[in-house]
Structure 1
Amino acid sequence: MTPAPIPGVGAGINLRPRVAALGGGHGLSASLQALQLVTDRITAIVTVADDGGSSGRLREEFDILPPGDLRMALAALCDTTEWGQQWADALQHRFAGDGPLGGHALGNLIIASLWDLLGDPVAGLDLVGRLLGARGRVLPMSTEPLQIRAMVAGVHPDRDDDVSEVVGQAQVATTPGRVQSIRLVPDPPLACREAVDAIHDAEWVVLGPGSWFTSVMPHLAVPDLREALVQTRAKRLLTLNVVNSGETEGFTAADHLQVMVEHAPELHFDTVLADASAVAGQEQQLRSAAESVGAELVLKTVANPQRPGTHDVLLLAAAYRDIVG
């Protein structure tokens, strides 16, 4: 069933805010699905450091941006008509089997084909968006494929004070150690100019949720994007995850803000949104951390009780409406 628009949003298009949403993977997808129930003036700015699965194979074979997270963002912004939903399903369809197509998502192949035809990643993504009737625009954070390199403590538990460099998004996302910092290669990475412009043009910038070190933090490691986030006149909203696992196993909610401060001390926020049950018992610490970056802490119920560890799109949309709309 297609969700109904969230009530309380002005009918005139000029009343709907311009939003730039930054992230990647399932976290950004949930955020975009929620945001499109609040506004249809959305620009998604997506990480391009994935090196696993179908994206990694296409990236290695054709020396292109990894299309997977871009595909997921486009699918999330598909129009809610039958046409849009059918195309969203088609984009996400993954071929089975062990042959050359096995494991590839159809959307990844479409995007890669258009990039080959047009020679321009932004033009290719815009064309896919037109095909889908996407309610927003999807942009890469950089027009060159990037590699994440993280300094991780405890990769080898038998070695005291061990800090190792872990290379690649897939490896960082599954490391058993504690991630301390990340950087991107090439260094410095080049920002997508249209993404920088979208941040400056936005009325709200939404960062997160998502895998903290591989989907959210990489935006701060692109100098022109970080500068735009600092200088924009837009209000800034940080959406925290509803569960800590993988690369942030053992982190408190306040730790997420702390690592962000360490990577971009000049960046401030207006609002930090957290699920009330996910941060139970941490409210005072998290509120202090939010205040340290200039933000008000907003606690809402946004977790999906049917799918632990994920956001409920309608509840998240209602929270975004209250904050942004």
Structure 2
Amino acid sequence: MASRTKPRTRIRRIKTASWVKWLLPGLVVKRWLFISVLGITLIVLGLAISVRLTPVFYFTRLVGSLIDLFASRVPRHISGPIAILLGFVLLWLGHKRALGSITQVLMPDNDKELVDVLIDHRKLKRGPKLVTLGGGTGLSNLLRGLKNYSSNITAIVTVADDGGSSGRLRREYGVLPPGDIRNCLAALADEEKLLTELFQYRFTTGEGLSGHSFGNLFITAMNDITGDLDRAIAASSKVLAVRGRVLPATLDHVSLWAELQDGRRIEGESNIPEANGKIARIGCTPDNPIALPQAVADIAEADCIIIGPGSLYTSICPNLLVPGILEAIADSQAPCIYVCNIMSQPGETDGYTVADYVRTLDRVAGGRLFDVVLVQKYKPSDRALQNYAKSGATFTELDRDGLVELNCPILLANVMQEMPDGKVRHDPDRLAGVLMRWYNRQQ
């Protein structure tokens, strides 16, 4: 029994000591607490005046008499500190009970103290303005890590997807594809586990429902209600308590096309990887989609811009095919980094080295957009490599000579997470940590 009671006592002491955190600077609490005490004092004095104990001299004389009576019974060097201590105890008790009641109402199932939530909120609000560009699972993994460093995040995603649930909704309802937007919203959700699982839930049966995710249907319904995808995303962000915001690169209905080295022209984002050819040129219809003004404004105000990770031709390049987005990145003075993919994508980047990725982005953008490329330092395990080899995917090799020729600086780091099933991905926490340390060095 003794071994079970000791930890509880220790936890209780730690929680009791949490009141000290309310004295930390930057919480904007102490000033209002002082104003509250001042207000109480003025109320007491006002009541004294209102009941005709004027001048206030009579009230102060009564208080003085009581103090003298107390001091005559107990020495001043003891009575003074006792009164001060009693005042602080009462103030602390009232403060603790009031905040406890508020916490119970606002966060009934949250183990964190209200002061810890407030500290985290203030820290994240003071975080840098980060803009990310990409799509797919790569970008959502990045966002899961970045949201622990700042709430001033803007994720700009492509709207060129025409496959799966997004493609069906695009063809049947005429909406912009919500898939990548849904993934990013779920990644930026503020610890709302049940809501994010609901958003990502995919129907497996039902006529017309099978294959659709609830999030895609929700955003489509919001788009129909609000009449605008931008407003639909904002409404969805409120439901999910999103840190930051997700923006489509454009509200135009964009369709990708690719010209292969064998002369074929492939129409449609989902058809490009299936063509099994080497891509020579990528473009979209319409030729010059109009950038979302808010996306352009956020890039202009960014403290740091992060390109990728994500499918090179079908997630990252589509954003750069929007002239307003491309020009905003090129004009920005903020440090910019490109996160290169760990593994190649069959049908898109077969056999690509890091230099091939950089060369492609330079060609699409008409110049260099980023200051450095982040490259995975170590290879995955042999088991993972063999697993990927079955689908034709390979590890993205670092060819230093090619990058030297391109005059492209390298940032080497271990940002990989190998899953139990042999798949690899960018580790959200490692990747975000490396990026934020790099950003801080630029300052």
TM-score (ref. length: structure 2): 0.65
| Structure 1 residue 193 displacement after superposition | 1.1
* Structure 2 equivalent of residue 141 of structure 1: 249
* Structure 1 equivalent of residue 210 of structure 2: 102
Q: Choose from 78, 88, 95 the match for 2:196.
A: 88
Q: Percent identity at matched positions?
A: 34
* Structure 2 equivalent of residue 132 of structure 1: 240
* Structure 1 equivalent of residue 334 of structure 2: 234
Contact 1:230/1:268, CA 8 A, preserved across alignment: yes
Alignment of 1:309 onto 2:424: yes
Q: Choose from 99, 116, 128 the match for 2:224.
A: 116
| Structure 1 residue 203 displacement after superposition | 0.7
Structure 1 letter corresponding to 2:190: D
Structure 1 letter corresponding to 2:286: P
TM-score (ref. length: structure 1): 0.88
User: What is the DSSP-based 3-state SS (H/G/I as helix, E as strand, rest coil) of the residue aligned with 1:66?
Assistant: coil
Contact 2:135/2:316, CA 8 A, preserved across alignment: yes
Counterparts of 1:124 and 1:272 in 2: how far apart (Å)? 34
- From the superposition, tell whether residues 72 and 286 of structure 1 become closer, same or farther in structure 2 (CA, over 3 Å): farther
- From the superposition, tell whether residues 11 and 271 of structure 1 become closer, same or farther in structure 2 (CA, over 3 Å): farther
Alignment of 1:64 onto 2:175: yes
Contact 1:47/1:69, CA 8 A, preserved across alignment: yes
Q: Whose strand proportion is higher, 1 or 2?
A: 1
Alignment of 1:167 onto 2:267: yes
Structure 2 letter corresponding to 1:102: S
- From the superposition, tell whether residues 129 and 281 of structure 1 become closer, same or farther in structure 2 (CA, over 3 Å): closer
Counterparts of 1:260 and 1:299 in 2: how far apart (Å)? 19
User: What is the DSSP-based 3-state SS (H/G/I as helix, E as strand, rest coil) of the residue aligned with 1:126?
Assistant: helix
Structure 1 residue runs of 5 or longer lacking an equivalent are 1-8, 154-161
1:90-126 Cα distance to aligned partner (Å, 9 max, x none) = 1100001262100000000110011101111111101
Counterparts of 1:290 and 1:30 in 2: how far apart (Å)? 28
Structure 2 letter corresponding to 1:28: L
User: What is the DSSP-based 3-state SS (H/G/I as helix, E as strand, rest coil) of the residue aligned with 1:145?
Assistant: coil
**Whose radius of gyration is greater, 1 or 2?**
2
| Structure 1 residue 39 displacement after superposition | 1.6
Structure 1 letter corresponding to 2:288: P
- How many residues are treated as equivalent by the alignment? 304
Alignment of 1:255 onto 2:356: yes
| Structure 1 residue 38 displacement after superposition | 2.1
Contact 1:166/1:172, CA 8 A, preserved across alignment: yes
| Structure 1 residue 46 displacement after superposition | 0.5
User: What is the DSSP-based 3-state SS (H/G/I as helix, E as strand, rest coil) of the residue aligned with 1:248?
Assistant: coil
Contact 2:320/2:326, CA 8 A, preserved across alignment: yes
| Structure 1 residue 13 displacement after superposition | 4.4
- From the superposition, tell whether residues 202 and 221 of structure 1 become closer, same or farther in structure 2 (CA, over 3 Å): same
Q: Choose from 128, 144, 151 the match for 1:17.
A: 128
Alignment of 1:218 onto 2:318: yes
Q: Whose helix proportion is higher, 1 or 2?
A: 2
Structure 2 letter corresponding to 1:215: S
The higher relative CO (CA closer than 8 Å, separation ≥ 6) is in: 1
Q: Choose from 358, 367, 383 the match for 1:266.
A: 367
- From the superposition, tell whether residues 287 and 38 of structure 1 become closer, same or farther in structure 2 (CA, over 3 Å): farther
